Structure 1
Amino acid sequence: MDTATVARFEASRHRLASLAYRLLGSAADAEDTVQDAFLRWQAADREFVEVPEAWLTKIVTNLAIDRLRSAKVRRERAVGAWMPEPLLDGDPMLGPAETAEQRESVTMAVLTLMERLSPVERAAYVLREAFSYGHAEIAEILGISESASQQHIHRARRRITATGNSTGIDRACAHRIVEAFVAAAASGRTERLVALLTDDATGISDGAGLGLSGKPLRFSTPERIATAFRARFKPSPAKRKLAGGPISVHAAVINGCPAMLATLDDRVVGVVIMDIRDDKIAGVRGIATPGRLDRLTAQWQRQEHDAPLIESW
């Protein structure tokens, strides 16, 4: 391909990666999907491609649908430990964030809820809510009728009810929320943590970093969340050995939500992401699986960040 043809694809790369990430919930899979689209673009008879952006959108969407339908992906997600891959604020893969719908579509809560949808429903929903495509365009991309597009989106919206969680939280606000959470957890008093949580707060952890990788831990009440984090924040030689050394704890914004981020030698080893509703924490998600933190670590190392809340845990 000539330079102009490559440049035309590269001009769409971030948008395509953002689309693929929303569809797949995995930055690594999104990157692979975009690379597969590039190979299709390379092999295509581009003389007959009237609108490259539309053509590439269709290719990426359908490649992502094929991935979602694959037996391997279905098995991985059926285990129940799967969670979306977290992305640090400023990562271009997070994509458009001008509207509330666009910001919400990339939160961990909505990406998790989208697991309830069929691949086509998920694609229709993302194209409409995050990228503002019309029903005629969605129908052409997915090879369905306009009425089918409307039905898919209606069903998707019904299953993904508005979470009511705050999105688009700035760095200063995130810092205050995480600082309060860390102080309460480190105090050893569960009532301080419970006071920060909504009455229906829930939590989930992938179990990694605790010798429980692949075994999700679920917390169904504020009291159980508080008890779990009070125990985690009590340092011990055994915990430091398991972690690989002393951990630093930072406040960050991940997928539009406040997050507690643990680092070891400037490498991210775990995150706790918080859903905020009515100025309280409605949900916490802990992720420490190394392979799901690679991109976040790379982005973290590129950015300047505030002093840690805990210098050496």
Structure 2
Amino acid sequence: MDENSSPADRFAEHRPRLRAVAYRMLGSLTEADDAVQEAWLRLERADTGEVDNLGAWLTTVVARICLNMLRARATRREEPLEVHMPDPLISSPDAIDPEQEALLADAVGLALLVVLDALTPAERLAFVLHDMFAVPFEEIASMTERSPAAARKLASRARRRVREAAPTPDPDLTRQRRVVEAFFAAARRGDFAGLLAVLDPEVVLRADGGAAGGRPTFVVRGPEAVLGQAMIGERFAPLVRPALVNGAAGVVVAAGGRTLSVMGFTVADDRIVAIDVLWDPDRLTHLYLGPLAEGGAEN
């Protein structure tokens, strides 16, 4: 873009990348938009005449804002939640919403964002900026007030935790859907053997019912524990509508225009390795689901 373009035009050029950085850092669409808006306000007040790379400058500004927001969030939590589900990005099962493409450029699934939420703010910043956006460790070091070597260690520690807790999903969306459909078909029939066949031996189910306690928040591990939850939810199977949740196979459970839950699945080697459920009624009311929330589906 021409350097003589207006600040607003130049900012708009970088906005998709800045929002993607903020979403990965915060796991919240509202907070991500707040961070990007704050970056715009700082750009308006700043003298950027000597800035050679405006995109890098804005990325640094957004990252610092997000780091401060994460630190404030950690301070506010008197007791850490057992699990906190990030804001899911929901599209029709056939195509990702164009506005979400930049946010999902590198397949940021719910399972990965849950793991990122368990990192320290500095670890999360180092991993997101370096591994996802190729920001040099020298720049990350200045943001975290550490040496480049220490910043490198932050990213390495985060990378190891991500690798251990967030399996890489199958890239074939059709295969993902087939496994998820088999899961719900078995749940409708009360078929334990069918459910067991599609669950990985190390499967984990995480459910976020909200901090207010409207619904339970819990984590269960292993096929037997997940089977118990699947059978409890058997009566909801007819209300399932297929969806893309953060670009992967997922579902929206809805009835009468009211959303009951959003479920994201991580499928690897034709087995479900993670199920992430948001069923916090307060947060669900703020999600735009369009026709996906109009009723049940024939799955």
TM over 0.5: yes
How far off is 1:256 after superposition? Answer: 3.4
Matches within 5 A, 1:235-246: none
Q: What is aligned with 1:308?
A: 297
SS at match of 1:95: coil
1:25 aligns with 2:27: yes
How far off is 1:70 after superposition? Answer: 0.5
What do you get for the CA RMSD once the two structures are aligned?
3.1
Selected match of 2:85 from 83, 90, 102: 83
SS at match of 1:199: strand
How far off is 1:247 after superposition? Answer: 7.5
Q: Which range is displaced more, 11-20 or 116-125?
A: 116-125
Quickly say closer, same or farther: Cα 1:269–1:41, change in 2 above 3 A.
farther
Quickly say closer, same or farther: Cα 1:168–1:252, change in 2 above 3 A.
farther
Selected match of 1:133 from 125, 132, 135: 135
Q: What is aligned with 2:18?
A: 16
**Residue type of the alignment partner of 1:308:** A
Q: Which range is displaced more, 132-141 or 41-50?
A: 132-141
Q: Which range is displaced more, 5-14 or 82-91?
A: 82-91
SS at match of 1:45: coil
Contact 1:67 1:73 in 2 (8 A): no
How far off is 1:138 after superposition? Answer: 3.2
Q: Which range is displaced more, 197-206 or 66-75?
A: 66-75
Q: What is aligned with 2:251?
A: 260
Q: What is aligned with 2:234?
A: 233
Quickly say closer, same or farther: Cα 1:118–1:43, change in 2 above 3 A.
same
How far off is 1:212 after superposition? Answer: 5.2
Q: What is aligned with 2:196?
A: 194
Count of residues in Structure 1 that have an aligned counterpart in Structure 2: 287
Contact 1:168 1:256 in 2 (8 A): no
SS at match of 1:191: helix
1:223 aligns with 2:214: no
Contact 2:202 2:222 in 1 (8 A): yes
How far off is 1:177 after superposition? Answer: 2.4
Using the alignment, how far apart are the partners of 1:253 and 1:121 within structure 2?
29
Using the alignment, how far apart are the partners of 1:96 and 1:24 within structure 2?
12
Q: TM-score scaled to structure 2, two decimals?
A: 0.83
Quickly say closer, same or farther: Cα 1:111–1:79, change in 2 above 3 A.
same
How far off is 1:249 after superposition? Answer: 1.7
Contact 1:190 1:223 in 2 (8 A): no
SS at match of 1:62: helix
Q: What is aligned with 2:167?
A: 164
Provide structure 2 residue ranges, at least 5 long, that are not aligned to the other structure.
none
Contact 2:214 2:280 in 1 (8 A): yes
How far off is 1:71 after superposition? Answer: 4.9
SS at match of 1:78: coil
Contact 2:27 2:117 in 1 (8 A): no
Contact 2:188 2:238 in 1 (8 A): no
Contact 2:83 2:219 in 1 (8 A): no
Quickly say closer, same or farther: Cα 1:76–1:216, change in 2 above 3 A.
farther
Quickly say closer, same or farther: Cα 1:94–1:65, change in 2 above 3 A.
farther
Using the alignment, how far apart are the partners of 1:176 and 1:120 within structure 2?
38
Q: Which range is displaced more, 226-235 or 196-205?
A: 226-235
Using the alignment, how far apart are the partners of 1:288 and 1:109 within structure 2?
16
Deviations 1:43-69 (A, max 9, x none): 212323332211111110000000110
Q: What is aligned with 2:48?
A: 46
How far off is 1:229 after superposition? Answer: 1.7
**Percent of residue pairs identical:** 30
**Residue type of the alignment partner of 2:267:** I
